[in-house]
A and B are shown apart, each in its own frame.
Chain A
Amino acid sequence: MNTLHNFSKGIIKENPVLVLVLGTCPTLATSTSVINALGMGAAATLVLICSNIVISALRKVIPDKVRIPCYIVLIAGLVTSVQMLVKAYTPALNDALGIYLPLIVVNCIILGRAEMFASKNKVIDSAADGFGMGIGFTLALFLMASIREVFGNGTFCGIEIPVLNDNHVSILTMAPGGFFVFGLLIACVNKFGKHKPKSNNSGCESCPQAELCSKKGGSTLVKGANTDD
């Protein structure tokens, strides 16, 4: 039951991309086409499961003070293996993902799960957590890539869609479009998700104009009077 929960929480409730907002860089960069997004998701999921298992297994051996370098070395080794596999079997995907494939090493999701989960939990739970987070990452990438490819390029997985292909909004495949789609998806998740972020709209402090505001101006007066003395 607990293992199942560890698996399922990563998919929606603690979705790494849309709720925890981790791994933004590969999300924005590789979600221009569905194929790339799925390839990136699969590669990251594989690394995530393996790194969670290894780090969880070694959690009592790794000294606490140098744990981050140890995690990085382990993750880098796993990423290198995955990259070799991708290069050998799907060279086209390797070309499409380019630098973002080796950059999985510094993907916040993987280091984040190692630090937050795998270093404190048992091997099976960590594997389930890694698998769930990987699926969540892949799903978020797939969702973003679908929106961006269908409306930005008029294709889905490279297949042309009749009407949209002639009337596509090319900004969606560019960097600004990626940020737009990302922002809108996070907004939707916050709006319709069960876990709403705490509202900070309490008092003057949260107001962007707080420093220009008359209330703050009052305190400036007091300060001014003091420095005059």
Chain B
Amino acid sequence: MSKLILNVSPHISGKRTTQKIMLDVIIALMPAAVASVIIFGWRSLLVIGVCVCTCAASEFLFEKLCKRENTVYDLSAVVTGILLAFNLPVSIPIWQAVFGSITAIIVVKQLFGGIGQNFANPAITARIIMMTAFSGSMTAWTSPQTSDAVSSATPLAAASKNITDSMPSYTDLLLGNHSGCIGETCALALIAGGIYLIIKRVISWQTPAAFIATVAVMSLICGRDVIYQLLSGGLLLGAVFMATDYATTPPTPFGKAVFGIGCGIVTILIRFWGNLPEGVSFSILLMNILTPYISKITRSKPLTGGAEA
């Protein structure tokens, strides 16, 4: 025994790295990606590819330019690229997808200090910026390729305007056979990805469960079709993949539940009483901004102390 080693906790370090976590997220996103190609055709693969390449390239170049540690290999930029692509309609012009990806990585993520420092989810924020910037092409929904890519209303838009004949059946909603963004339509694939992430303990169940349950309960109270509200729009994609981002959500289980409930309430408010048919992305961004306060209120008290109240 040459010397006594004294250091602070944690003393046991796991084998889990950011790269492995991100790899799991990518695996969980794959079913939805495959489904999107089946539903919307090969162009969805092109959009995903463009977003992923642009995100990775802008992360690499910005970090080179600022002489920062290079974090391309932790795959977080790839995940951001896939998530952003999932939030775009399949007919989006390629240059707009490139613009969105650059915004996501450089403006939302890198300018705030890179991975773990960003206050809002890059993919969600970039989507909202694109919604404002290109409102025309961001809402040009095409139906699945079976009907020769005619533009049509999304299920939520149809529901909010009471166009009952263009509302798809539950089976179509579950399989994703309706118009919408690339990655949000196939509920089955998203649920499968979510279960994989929860089993692998990449995400905790509290946020998606609270989010989805709040939407369900509030739809029930408001007398809307609960299953329809749950399976349509970006709810599942947002609840499973976007509202569970580590950097932008509270760390404690209770905080996560509060975050999910908040997201659910804002989503329902926008869906039922707002101007827009869908509010998932806005609700997540809003709760991202509130996250520091939620973390502060819901932090766990030290075992021996906490008598200050």
Contact = CB atoms under 8 A, between A and B. Distances in A.
Contact of A212 (B93, B132, B295, B308): B295
B111 interface: yes
Nearest to B66: A191
Contacts of B192: none
B308 A169 contact: no
A161 interface: no
A170 B133 contact: yes
B14 interface: no
Interface stretch (A27-35, A42-50, A104-112, A217-225): A217-225
Q: Give the interface SS of chain A, mostly helix, strand, loop or mixed.
A: helix
Interface stretch (B171-179, B270-278, B299-307): B299-307
Contacts of A205: none
Contacts of B129: 171, 176
Nearest to B303: A221
A221 B305 contact: yes
A211 interface: yes
B89 to A, nearest CB: 17
Contacts, number: 46
A227 interface: yes
A167 interface: yes
Q: Classify chain A's interface size.
A: 20 to 34
Find the residue from B93, B296, B302 having the highest chain A CB count within 10 A: B302
A211 B304 CA distance: 17
Interface in A170-198: 170-172, 174, 176-177, 180, 184, 187
A220 B308 contact: yes
A41 to B, nearest CB: 27
A208 interface: yes
B305 A225 contact: yes
Contact of B306 (A174, A176, A224): A224
A64 interface: no
**Which 7 interchain pairs have the tightest Cβ spacing?**
A171-B133, A224-B305, A221-B305, A224-B307, A171-B132, A169-B133, A224-B308
Interface of A: 167, 169-172, 174, 176-177, 180, 184, 187, 208, 211-212, 217, 220-221, 223-225, 227-228
19 contacts: A169-B99, A170-B132, A170-B133, A170-B134, A170-B135, A171-B129, A171-B132, A174-B132, A176-B129, A187-B111, A211-B296, A212-B299, A217-B305, A220-B302, A220-B305, A220-B308, A223-B308, A224-B306, A227-B308
